[in-house]
Amino acid sequence: GDCNDFAILMSAIIEEIGGTSRILLAQNNSTGGHAYAEIYLGASNDPNNQLEEIINWLKQNYDTDMIYTHIDTDTKDVWLNLDWGQDEKGNAYPGGPFFQGDKHIVIRISDKPAKTPPKLPEGAA
C-alpha cells in the first residue's frame, strides 16, 4: 500500500479500539501529495490530560528529544503525528517530523462528536 492506505488503516485501528483519529492530506509544489494519520492526545487546557506523560513516554521509548504534535489554537486539542517521518538521524517513530505541506486538508473517518484521548497504564509514565 501507499501513504493513503497506511493513514486509513492507522485511523481505523485507533477508532476501533476507542481512540479518536483524523487523516491529514498534505500537498506541496515540490514533492506532491501525502497522507498521514494523527491521534487525539487530549486538550492542553484540560487539567486531567496526560499530554506530558504520553510525550515523555514516547521520547523515552523511541530515544528522541523531539515529538511533533499539532495544537489547534481554538480548541487547544493536541494531535500526535503518526507519519513516522525520519528525523535528522534517520530514525522513524510516532511523533516524528511532519511532511512539509503548503496546504492541509483534515478528514475525520468517524462522525462521533466526543474525542477520546489515550491513557497510559498505571506506572507507565
User: pLDDT for 80-91, tens place per residue?
Assistant: 999 877 888 888
Q: What is the mean pLDDT of the chain?
A: 87
Cell of 125: 509514565
- The residue among 73 and 100 whose pLDDT is bigger is 73
- The residue among 96 and 23 whose pLDDT is bigger is 23
Residue identified by cell 479518536 is 20
Paired residues of 62 in beta bridges: none
- Structural contact between residues 27 and 106, judged by C-beta atoms closer than 8 angstroms: no
Nearest in space to 95 (alpha carbons), one of 74, 118, 111, 123: 118
- Structural contact between residues 124 and 57, judged by C-beta atoms closer than 8 angstroms: yes
Mean pLDDT of 34-62: 93
Burial class (CB in 10 A: 0-12, 13-18, 19+), 60: exposed
Q: What is the pTM of this model?
A: 0.85
- The residue among 20 and 125 whose pLDDT is bigger is 20
The percent of the chain in helix, strand and coil, each rounded to the nearest 5, is: 20, 30, 50
Q: What pLDDT does residue 125 have?
A: 61
| Position 108 confidence tier, pLDDT thresholds 50, 70, 90 | confident
